Amino acid sequence: MKSLKIGFVLIVVFGKTLSSCSKENVSDYSLALNCNDTISYSQDIRPILENNCNGCHDTGAGGYSFTDHTETAANASAILNSLYGTTQLMPLGGPALPDSLIQKVQCWINQGKLNN
């Protein structure tokens, strides 16, 4: 009986470890965000896209192009869903972006997707 309990504990711990390797599906992205600073499209969002997305999406691959503010703002929800992994996790084939960068995108959206 004791070995059964130990086995159960190991399964639970192992399962938690595996599940922590991917982004959680979050239905309310605004939870735990600190959006006190105004997020700038030109200084914050555009560099994130240039460094992580535009290698594939500068030509409209997959139906999206993020080369200017208008296209980025129009597709902001799709971008965020992909960064959180609620659809296909992006960037494709690479590690997920750090939560701090994803939160900048979320804050920029929450602040009205300003072209600043």
Quick: pLDDT tens for 17-47.
Answer: 333 344 443 444 444 567 999 999 999 999 9
The reported pTM is 0.69
Report domain extents, the chain.
37-116
High-pLDDT (> 70) share of the chain, %: 69
- Cβ-proximal residues to 20 (8 Å cutoff; 6+ apart), any chain: none
The confidence band for 111, taking pLDDT boundaries of 50, 70 and 90, is: very high
68-90 residue pLDDT tens = 999 999 999 999 999 998 888 88
- Cβ-proximal residues to 100 (8 Å cutoff; 6+ apart), any chain: none
Tell me the C-alpha distance between 32 and 27, whole Å.
Answer: 13
Tell me the C-alpha distance between 33 and 107, whole Å.
Answer: 8
What confidence score (pLDDT) does residue 60 get? 64
The answer to whether residue 98 scores a pLDDT higher than 50 is yes
